[in-house]
Chains A and B, each alone.
Chain A
Amino acid sequence: MRNIWTIAMREFKVYFTSPIAYIVLAMFAVVFGYFFTSGLAFFMDYSASVQAQGGAGAPPLNVNQFVIEPSLGNMSIVLLFLMPMITMRLFAEEQRSGTIELLLTSPLQDYHIICGKWLGALLLYGCLLLVAVLNISVLFLYTTPDWKPLLVSLLGLLLMGGSMIAIGTFLSTLTRNQIVAGALTFGVLLLLWVLNWISSYETSTFSRVCEYLAISPHFEQFSKGVIELKDLLYYLSAISLGLFLSKRSLEALRWKA
């Protein structure tokens, strides 16, 4: 565990000694801030009009449902663009600079290196979530959102992000070129993101499989505060698969190096 942590902390610090962390955090803060503000504006406009129509007896509008849910739901679009930037360097950079030789000739198991790198990227992603939480916490000053579904959403986001990072980690082992790794990751994540679109027009087995494989629909229940086993399993298996493929790829790297 200490080995994984050592690798993870180095990765995490590198993000902050290079411009990557700042660029990703700044971009995220702006885009998420925009999502959140527009969601809030819609909510205030809508609740004002409901009151104007004399809906005094109607139950108050749910801030979770109208502000938090959509803004966190939209986060997957932002992640689609930011995740490749976070993961592309993980192994590609080490291969380019030759430092992979240091890692692979140290008394470490492959999974120490892979999990360490994955965890390091996940920690940076955790910082992004923190920015989102910071935005949302403003709501607590003026109203009383339900915090339990919020926590479940955050767990869902962590799992979804973890899956994306695991996929990116694997793709980064495939090449010594960071741009190639980034482009591949973006392509794969984009495909996983749009994979369920076909199911709106078709109901064949193929489209149902596609829907299940798509990455964002599994977040829907989380965003409503519901943890479903199939969603949990989906994300956990995506993470395991990504890390497993990384390990295989690292072994192959040795054979062909």
Chain B
Amino acid sequence: MIQVEGVTKRYGPKTAVSNISFEVERGEIVGFLGPNGAGKTTTMRILTGFLPPTLGTASVAGFDVGKSPIEVKRRIGYLPESPPLYPEMEVEDYLRFVAAIKRIPKKEIPRRVDAVLERTATGAVRDLLVGKLSKGYRQRVGLAQALIHGPEVLVLDEPTSGLDPKQIIEVRGLIRSLAGEHTILLSTHILPEVAGTCGRVIIINEGRIEASDTPENLTAQLQGANSLLLDIDGPSEAVRERLELDLAVRKVIEHEARNGRTVWRVEADKDENLTRRLAEAVVTSGWGLYGMQSLGLSLEDIFLKLTSDESAAAQAEEEVPEPEAAESDPPADEGSGSGEGEDE
């Protein structure tokens, strides 16, 4: 549904996004996870046709963003980080206006407006000025705006930032209820958010994709797991057996072939001496060890960044009493410094 290939975006000398590629299948909910300034907003803006990429191509529902922007825009519902609302308009008028510029036939507009008002539970405020709404309602009207033309793809930039814990739970519930009908790409810098809503997570940091997996796998990989690349010159089966002999090793996978040798990926429990033991094992078996690289570390760094970000924000919130669904939703993040355009 969404295909991004080798997209790079530079602002002058600054590279916001660097050669990223990923795909999102129909009906998936994918979370874009990364610290502030990682390039999440930039990527989303490229997908929605707001920004052209410097290099690379992106396509949505089979249409190239650069070549047929109108077709792409018809199929995308986009909620930017700060909902694009006109404070001086009434909610219903605003939605009518959005429906019209999304090219919904005139006759259908009232029906669509009613439908999204109901869907996002904003019917009660339909006659109020947008400027008078609470933050939670604004976010929902923002969602209503993104949904009004029944887009196949929803792109939501930090949909829960700046909301209080109760509103966060409501908005997450709303997003989950949209799954199935829509393909959803949402961004966040809060780890539990993706765990609760997304089927897959793409971790992005400093404009690069660092990992892409299900939340469960990622959490396993991040917490107490260690991943190594070993470039070994030796008979495959024997090497595999020897590596698996180590107690800490969970899985041994053929990663790639390099110059006639095999690069193995070893997933193991956290163990300080693992690298040393594996190196010893390879060398004493008489094979050549051409390279060793720890993969776990960089992910860990990001994870640390993400979690420290969150705990700092959670502390700042002065122990907000956890609401009903607390098990699945740890303390809410106010989004430390969620100003406009923080991703540039």
Chain A contacts to B: CB under 8 angstroms: 2-3, 6-7, 10, 14, 17-18, 97-109, 254-257
Contact = CB atoms under 8 A, between A and B. Distances in A.
Given A98-B340, A254-B51, A106 B102 contact: yes
A78 B80 CA distance: 40
20 contacts: A3-B100, A3-B101, A10-B89, A97-B84, A98-B80, A98-B82, A99-B86, A100-B84, A101-B80, A102-B84, A102-B101, A104-B49, A104-B50, A105-B50, A105-B73, A105-B78, A106-B98, A106-B101, A254-B52, A256-B11
B48 interface: yes
A14 B106 CA distance: 21
Contact of A107 (B51, B87, B103): B103
Given A14-B86, A17-B88, A98-B340, A105 B97 contact: no
B86 A107 contact: no
A6 B78 CA distance: 20
B101 A99 contact: no
A17 B131 CA distance: 12
The 10 closest A-B pairs by CB, nearest first: A102-B84, A107-B73, A6-B100, A99-B84, A105-B48, A106-B101, A107-B74, A101-B80, A107-B70, A17-B88
A3 B103 contact: yes
B101 A257 contact: no
A18 B73 contact: no
B84 A101 contact: yes
Given A105-B48, A107-B74, A107-B103, A18 B98 contact: no
Given A105-B48, A106-B73, 6 more contacts: A2-B106, A10-B89, A99-B84, A106-B98, A107-B73, A257-B45
A14 B88 contact: yes
B76 interface: yes
A109 B86 CA distance: 20
Interface in B43-102: 45, 48-52, 70-71, 73-74, 76, 78, 80, 82, 84-89, 97-98, 100-102
B145 interface: yes
Contacts of B74: 107
Interface string B107-133: 000000000000000000000000000
A254 B84 CA distance: 17
A255 B12 CA distance: 10
Given A3-B103, A101-B84, A107-B103, A257 B51 contact: yes
Given A109-B70, A256-B11, A257-B50, A102 B98 contact: yes
Contact of B84 (A10, A14, A98, A255): A98
Contacts of B102: 106-107
Interface of B: 11, 45, 48-52, 70-71, 73-74, 76, 78, 80, 82, 84-89, 97-98, 100-103, 106, 145, 340
Nearest to B106: A2
Q: Which of A10, A18, A98, A107 has the most CB of B within 10 A?
A: A107
A225 B73 CA distance: 48
Nearest to B157: A101
A103 B85 CA distance: 11
A101 B46 CA distance: 12
A7 B97 CA distance: 8
Nearest to A256: B11
Nearest to A251: B52
A6 B97 contact: yes
Q: Which of A105, A108, A257 has the most CB of B within 10 A?
A: A105
B145 A102 contact: yes
Contacts of A109: 70
Nearest to B70: A107
A255 B73 contact: no
Contacts of B98: 102, 106
Nearest to B77: A105
A127 to B, nearest CB: 18
B101 A101 contact: no
A17 B87 CA distance: 10
Contacts of B71: 107
Contacts of A256: 11
Contacts of A101: 45, 50, 78, 80, 84
Contact of B76 (A7, A102, A105): A105
A252 B11 CA distance: 12
Contacts of A255: 51-52
Nearest to B75: A107
A18 B86 CA distance: 12
Nearest to A104: B50
Q: Which of B49, B50, B82, B97 has the most CB of A within 10 A?
A: B50
A13 B93 CA distance: 11
Contacts of A6: 97, 100-101
Nearest to A99: B84
A13 to B, nearest CB: 8
Contacts of A100: 84
A105 B101 contact: no
Contact of B89 (A17, A103, A106): A17
